[in-house]
Amino acid sequence: MNDPLLLAAVALLVPLAAALLLVVAPPLRHRGTPAAWICIAASLASLAAAVRLVALHAQLGGARWTTTWLFAAAKPIASVGLCVDAVSTAMLAVVTLVALCVQVFSVAYMHDESPRGFGRYFALHALFLFSMNLLVIAPNLLQAFAGWELVGLTSYLLIGFWFAKPSAARAAVKAFWMTKLADMGFLFGLLWLFVASGGFEWSAKLDPTVATGVTLLLFVAVVGKSAQFPLHVWLPDAMEGPTPVSALLHAATMVAAGVFLVVRADPLFAQAPLTRETMLWIGSTTAVFAACLALVQRDIKKVLAYSTCSQLGYMVAALGAGSAFAGFFHLGMHAFFKALLFLAAGSVIHAVHSNELSDMGGLRRKMPVTTFAFVIGALSLAGIPGFAGFFSKDLVLASLEGRAGWIPWGLLMGAAFLTAFYMGRTVCLAFFGKLSPKSEHAHEAPLAMSVPLLVLAVPSVIAGFFGAEFAHSLGAHYEVHLGLTPIVASSLAVAGFVAALVVFGRRRDASVASAIERLDRASFVDRGWEALYRRVLLGLSDVLGWIDRYVIDGLMNLTGYATLEAGSAVRGAQTGRMRHYLVAVVVGAILLAMLGWAR
Amino acid sequence: MTLVHCLLLAAALFSLGVYGLLTRKQAVALLLSIELMVNAANLVLVAFAKFAGAPTQPIVLFTLAITVAEVAVGLALVMLLYRRYDDTLLDAASEMKG
């Protein structure tokens, strides 16, 4: 197995084969457990192929294979295939590793599910892994679009996994609606790109106006998929899905697809300074805004969801500053520690049967492994020096130095403080302090749950140290330097943790804590979209419905009605008596004869 | 006997046929009336061939053949009418009233 393309094909197609097998063989799916094993085996094969690819890529370099597709007017207009390079191999490794951990975790987490539900869950997971790999390995934007839409579909199906619950069904529809709205940007961007360049290449050369237009349209899709302000509202609601799904799709991989797209299409974005400026501002605004919202959430998953928005904001800001490597590096690190945090939160939710932080507390003594994992994740996310998150966040912040009058830099520094503060708050409320009634009976997670936690904890700590090699393989430059940014960032992170410990720690400062928790939830964005949906979209549907019902159908009905009326008006002529008809024939013949004579 | 005599005879025959067609109720009588009209037409054709030298005699043969077919179909219809309504009066079949 030394052919990079063969390995890439294995990583891509084995999950597809698993998904298809589970689709066409209902007995396997309905029994539940076999489906889980098939899915996990496929992910394992995919992971093995991806790891081997990373090693091979370091020796041999990239490879590319494409085949033509979509014949139109005798000339193929697109191609699909496999693109093996530094970005795709690294992303493949991250995606498959997190996916495998999440799937193993799910075996224990979804244990109470009916066998049919269990099987459906793993079939969807296999489909998701295929879709994500299809996107990651895409040699052009068109294939990426196919993967993009497929991950959107699996996201919808998995958010609505418990579709019998109205809130889950609604959240799934909302996520689908919001991301679909944004995907229109992708579609129009693709069309424009094709018209302008005759292809869908990642690195097409465009003239400046077209480049700006195309990249702005693509960025709209990124805003939707990566939950940036103001389209972020679907992500917190998506937490209605099972927690491992949130870990895989809505934290580590799928939402990062937007960032990945920009990293991939960096040559396009480099031609559009205006788009990059927009990304810089949207990213840094989202980072701060979402961090503020994370501060006031009472649901542990919502804290993490807003935190994901905030961290994606960091990545988008770095990409806006023109540092694709910083964004991509943070994407990878974030995938590890955020998946870890979500899985640890899942373990807690599994133990106390509640998402509410107020139902937790004091879990440190009951669940030491989970606590350890969550704290590692929190420290990494907050960017405490030495942890993975520190290196990538430092790189993001360093890329922003001096940009746009240091304002985005300042915003992200503020967000770094808030990040440490809200993670400190979550850790204090969930794992320290007094035991709550619900956490009395909590127990440590089973092995299938704690092993993935420990596996993910490793890269959450050490992955940052491989930054230089990673940068080298991507052709970017990376070095840790002791300057203004790392010092300010790490002191803010430590300060945030200390402040959280003071406010929410053992001697809980009730007044400050409740003041913070009473802050407006700032759901105005949500309400704005809801109003837009209800008034504008549904209003428009009503108008169109009225036109359809009364104008278009009206014309049809009028035609039918007029024909019927005309028929009843002349039906008297049909007496049914043959002699009357004979008279008519004779009279007609005479009239014709007279007519002929007159001429 | 001239062409005019023949044409007058044909006109009289044709009018007789039309009269019968409009006044008779029996289906068989209608067939007979139609036969009269066809023969009037044949007479005209033959007269033109005889007195004016028109090449219309072969047409008469065709007309005769068609008339035979018409009578066969017409009588079959009359048979069906009788089977269905136990009557050969045309007014019996008035189900096509609008």
Task: Select from A570, A576, A586 the Cβ nearest to the Cβ of B94.
Answer: A576
C-alpha B27: how far from chain center? 13
Chain A, chain B: beta-carbon pairs less than 8 Å apart: 34
Class of domain B3-86: mainly alpha
Residue A483 tokens, joined: 């300057």
Burial A88-105 (b: 16+ CB within 10 A, else e): bbbbbbbbbbbbbbbbbb
- Number of Cβ within 10 Å of residue A273's Cβ equals 14
Task: Select from B18, B93, B96 the Cβ nearest to the Cβ of A574.
Answer: B96
Q: Tell me the shortest Cα–Cα distance from B84 to chain A, in angstroms.
A: 16
SS3 readout for A103-131: HHHHHHHCCCCCHHHHHHHHHHHHHHHHH
Distance between CA A561 and CA A351 in Å, rounded?
68
Residues in chain A: 599
Residue A234 tokens, joined: 């679907």
Task: Return the residue of A nearest to B95 by Cα.
Answer: A576
Predicted pLDDT of residue A64: 84
Going by the DSSP 8-state scheme, the letter that residue A226 receives in this structure is: T
Per DSSP, chain B holds a count of helices (H) and strands (E) of 3, 0
Taking CB atoms and an 8 Å cutoff, what residues of chain A touch B21? 582, 586
Whether residue A573 and residue B98 make contact (CB cut-off 8 A), yes or no, is yes
Taking CB atoms and an 8 Å cutoff, what residues of chain A touch B94? 575-577
Q: Which residues pair with A80 in a beta bridge?
A: A67
Distance between CA A137 and CA A117 in Å, rounded?
30
Q: Whole-model pTM? A: 0.74
Q: Is the ipTM of this complex over 0.85?
A: no
A572 near B CB under 8 A: yes
Residues in chain B: 98
Distance between CA A329 and CA A398 in Å, rounded?
13
Going by the DSSP 8-state scheme, the letter that residue A83 receives in this structure is: E
Instruction: Estimate the crossing angle of helix A388-399 against helix A407-431, to 10 degrees.
Output: 160
Cα radius of gyration (chain B): 17
Mean pLDDT by groups of 10 residues along chain A of 599 residues: 82 91 85 87 92 85 81 74 88 91 89 86 92 91 91 91 88 88 91 87 86 91 88 85 88 88 90 90 89 82 90 91 87 90 89 82 82 90 86 86 81 89 87 76 80 88 81 72 78 85 68 58 62 77 88 92 92 82 89 90
Predicted pLDDT of residue A442: 76
Task: Return the residue of A nearest to B96 by Cα.
Answer: A576
Whether residue B22 and residue A586 make contact (CB cut-off 8 A), yes or no, is yes
Task: Return the residue of B nearest to A571 by Cα.
Answer: B98
Taking CB atoms and an 8 Å cutoff, what residues of chain B touch A571? 98
Give the model confidence (pLDDT) of B27-82 as tens digits. 899 899 999 999 999 999 999 998 988 898 899 999 999 999 999 999 998 898 88
**Helix H or strand E segment including B93:** none
Distance between CA A505 and CA A362 in Å, rounded?
11
Distance between CA A486 and CA A385 in Å, rounded?
9
Predicted pLDDT of residue A390: 86
Q: Tell me the shortest Cα–Cα distance from A596 to chain B, in angstroms.
A: 17
Q: Is residue B15 scored above 90 in pLDDT? A: yes
3-class secondary structure, A465: helix
Whether residue B22 and residue A573 make contact (CB cut-off 8 A), yes or no, is no
Residue A344 tokens, joined: 């640890």
Distance between CA A502 and CA A525 in Å, rounded?
32
Domain boundaries, chain B: 3-86
Which of A570, A579, A591 should be substituted to probe chain B, the one whose Cβ sees the most B Cβ atoms within 10 Å? A579
